[in-house]
Structure 1
Amino acid sequence: MTVIRVGVVEDHPLFRDGLRNLLAAEGLQVVAESSDVSGIDSIVSAAPDVVVVDLGLPDGTGLDVVRRLRKELSTTRLLVLTMSADGATASRSLAAGAHGHLVKDADPAEVVAAIRSVSAGSVVVGASVADRLHGISDTAAFTPAAEAFPSLTLRERQVLGLVADGWPNSRIATELGLSDKTVSNYVSSILSTLHAPNRAALSGLVREATGR
């Protein structure tokens, strides 16, 4: 079985050491570490399968790390592991391009399972966050990051993500509180902006950009 190679961006040494030991005990290999935003060149060089990112860093935010890694390591999967359990923070993590969001008080087995699931291509939201996430931004997990589609607005990226996941216009309209006609107009605009011939082509563009 292929060993999952993990990068860790975490500024607390005790937590970083504990996570490294936990993963080693479960057969996962930590191949690079950084304690701040400015030190993530080592993560980029190592190109891990999964990077675990804390949001509270001394010289910036983990969201900056997520955005940069999504741009420079297109096949690497990203899991936010932080203190915040509120749904808005989880939504921002996913919208920035993370493939999962857990809080640090998660059970160790949940952390390991999340890393394995994210590595396998899933989007993971911890149990303690899922209820808070619902109703705040149910579409966040489907929304491609701005860096992937800089020519689109946030609303267009929301529509694009749901189209790529196979949602029909009527369901998108209900989810986003829009009319069917407005969604149709958004889809037409997205097709034109991205020079895509149809919805299937849009799905392909999102898969290429996000790896999902």
Structure 2
Amino acid sequence: MSAPIRVVLVDDQALFRAGIRMVIDSQPDLVVVGEAGDGAEALRVVRATRPDVVLMDIRMPVMDGLAATAELLQDASFGDSPPRIVMLTTFDLDEAAARAIRQGASGFLLKDADPEFLLAAIRTVHAGSAVIAAAATRELFAQFPQSAAAPVPASFATLTDREREIFALAARGLSNAEIAAREFLSEATVKTHISRILTKLALRDRVQLVVFAFEHGLA
């Protein structure tokens, strides 16, 4: 049996953390390895415990979740494997969550999400796909004014015509199954295309693909 997914909880409400810990620790493949009540404490706990996934509240005293997320994702001590960070927010369309995703967070969850959805989100983000937030991320970004589009990187020109088609559909938040049905492809083929696109564009997951599309005027 593989090692359980290691999770750190970061929220300034101890009662909320206790509830989430109970949900997570009830699962044989998940374990909470640390908690923090603010962003500064989160930096210490995450660096000490080296979790796979961090559930990070956005609004906290001392240091907020945005600052903590930015610092963790830029921490060279994690090498090529920084923890996956999922932002916790009370608001469905939260500009702070959009900023965190731009910084490299793997998505966001509402604090009142169903326990089953929370658990699925942790597992999905840990697997590296972050599919849970692709469509939601697109909707989130569409709600806020975008600054002038940045120049499209030269790497985008390395995509084949088919990969550009898949890119456009993924940027709209379509799942592999939806893309496969639309393009008359197998899900395995779509998955291969997505993997190649992410590699060519040096993107970590589908959430980052959505961000890339918005920032470069390709959405």
Interval of TM-score (by shorter of Structure 1 and Structure 2): 0.5 to 0.7
Identify the residue that residue 114 of structure 1 maps to in structure 2. Answer: 121
Distance 2:61 2:110 in 1: 19
Distance 2:45 2:92 in 1: 28
1:3-82 superposed matches below 5 A: 3-27=4-28, 28-39=30-41, 40-72=43-75, 73=78, 74-75=80-81, 76-82=83-89
TM-superposed CA distance for 1:3, in Å, is: 0.5
Query: Given the two structures, how large is their TM-score scaled by the length of structure 1?
Result: 0.65
SS in 2 for 1:84: coil
Query: Given the two structures, how large is their TM-score scaled by the length of structure 2?
Result: 0.63
Overall identity of the aligned pairs, in %: 33
| Unaligned 5+ runs, structure 1 | 140-152, 176-199
CA contact (8 A) 2:156 2:201 kept: no
Root mean square deviation of aligned Cα:
3.6
Distance verdict in 2 for CA 1:43–1:130, change over 3 Å = closer
TM-superposed CA distance for 1:90, in Å, is: 3.2
Distance 1:105 1:91 in 2: 19
Distance 2:12 2:70 in 1: 18
Residue type matched to 1:155 in 2? A
Residue type matched to 2:202 in 1? V
Distance 1:38 1:57 in 2: 10
Distance verdict in 2 for CA 1:160–1:48, change over 3 Å = farther
In the alignment, is residue 89 of structure 1 matched against residue 96 of structure 2? yes
Residue type matched to 1:47 in 2? R
| Unaligned 5+ runs, structure 2 | 172-195, 207-219
Equivalenced residue count is: 166
In the alignment, is residue 163 of structure 1 matched against residue 156 of structure 2? yes
Distance verdict in 2 for CA 1:9–1:154, change over 3 Å = farther
Distance verdict in 2 for CA 1:164–1:46, change over 3 Å = farther
In the alignment, is residue 99 of structure 1 matched against residue 94 of structure 2? no
Residue type matched to 1:206 in 2? A
CA contact (8 A) 2:12 2:36 kept: yes
Distance 1:60 1:125 in 2: 25
